[in-house]
Structure 1
């Protein structure tokens, strides 16, 4: 019998500082029951982690990110996470709800324009130079000071600082992995990324998304390859595999997951999973869940 671990989900506390503030910042070394807990957990909000000291590994959806000074890690809602710490880790954890920015911007696709969130083909972490990291820390200190002395107009000032930080990080990330750095490429690509996060269970074909976006399959694949390096179908399949792996960590059978994801029968589900992972769902669960 395999013991399936319970996955803790952390939710945002909007009234922590009295007035609703959908953002928070904390020192990693003071958040031991949350940040440095080595059990499997997930968040219902966005987080950016800034490491100033310490070593170890951060596991995000089974991808391992090395922890070292000046490491920055980006996590999106729903991703499975676990800390594996070797030496004491210090730094900052910046959390925010998607609504914190939506209340400020008319652009609901803004977070999908940032290369490091909802990423399919590049790592969710990076290590940057001392000067660049110092610039990020200055902005974090500004946010920290404002949160500590919250005022009626603090949310406006904090959004402005966060916006600057997110854009700077997008430039660093694009430079690190040699990808498109502009936050404005083709809007249909960002709409697809947003739709895929919301509708992957009921829509798993290229045709379904071309109809929703009202574009041709050829154009659709062109913008996907241009801005992600993957075809539209590859992006859909990567999203499905990522979500299936999360379900395998839950106390669900492969048969239950199969029908939840719309496969006609377990054998088709097993073939699909093995094609994209070189292992069966059963083998994956046995290997990854201790």
Structure 2
């Protein structure tokens, strides 16, 4: 099996502007380092990419996203990415650490309120109309302007602009994919999503999560279907498949992944993967 280089991780630089500021903005065409990196890499922070011009492909985990004007791409920490540029890409990248928001709102699950982050059952991108994209750009211009003349209270103003932008994006995303548009989501649903992110290797049954959340299986399924369109078990399986594909993409063997993910033997692992993807791990790895 051909070896591939280790995946590099880009970390946030909190003191770039002197004092700690856990958010940054930049024009794609002028930034260096991780922006437009054509090799496999991951970020330790959140990023929203706004494409104004250009074409090509953005790989996010196993998903290939077409780059075109008015495309917005959402990425969460730890996702495997790379860029394949055909025509010069111009636009904005907005990136931030989760603490920039969740400490202010005293809610460590705050970013799970938005449909587009930590996404594995719906696309992590959307194409919107010119008017909607223009509204996003207006907010980005305001954030950019505040960075150009930073003051002692700028972090509060930038945070409020980011919050407004996240809500506007959530409404657009909900409209594009016909999902729950209100940022009010039942607390047990995003607690479940957060637990699933952290415990999918140890806990693969609905019962395990209902015990941790102290709710009934029927209730958990009801809120999962309401806010994601999937049952709780389907969400667990989607998360597992997403992570398995990520491991396969990094050239790990099916046998290695099988035991790392707690399957009893390779045949059970192969059956599980094929049932949900209509292909075997070996066939999937060969294809990519």
Q: TM-score w.r.t. structure 1 length?
A: 0.95
| Deviation for aligned residue 1:119 | 1.9
Q: Which residue of 2 aligns with 1:199?
A: 199
| Deviation for aligned residue 1:249 | 2.8
| Deviation for aligned residue 1:156 | 1.2
Q: Does 1:247 align with 2:247?
A: yes
**In 1, Cα distance between equivalents of 2:4 and 2:265:** 24
Moved runs in structure 1, 4+ residues, more than 6 A?
A: none
Q: How does 1:48-197 map onto structure 2 within 5 Å?
A: 48-197=48-197
Q: Which residue of 1 aligns with 2:269?
A: 269
**In 1, Cα distance between equivalents of 2:269 and 2:20:** 44
8 Å CA contact 2:62, 2:249 repeated in 1 = no
Q: TM-score w.r.t. structure 2 length?
A: 0.95
Deviations 1:94-152 (A, max 9, x none): 00011110121022222111011112322111111222111111111111122232222
Unaligned 5+ residue runs, structure 2?
A: none
8 Å CA contact 2:74, 2:116 repeated in 1 = yes
SS at match of 2:66: strand
8 Å CA contact 2:58, 2:65 repeated in 1 = yes
**In 2, Cα distance between equivalents of 1:180 and 1:279:** 31
Comparing 157-166 with 144-153, greater Cα deviation is found at 144-153
Unaligned 5+ residue runs, structure 1?
A: none
Q: CA RMSD in A?
A: 1.4
8 Å CA contact 1:71, 1:127 repeated in 2 = yes
SS at match of 1:222: helix
SS at match of 1:52: strand
Number of aligned residues: 288
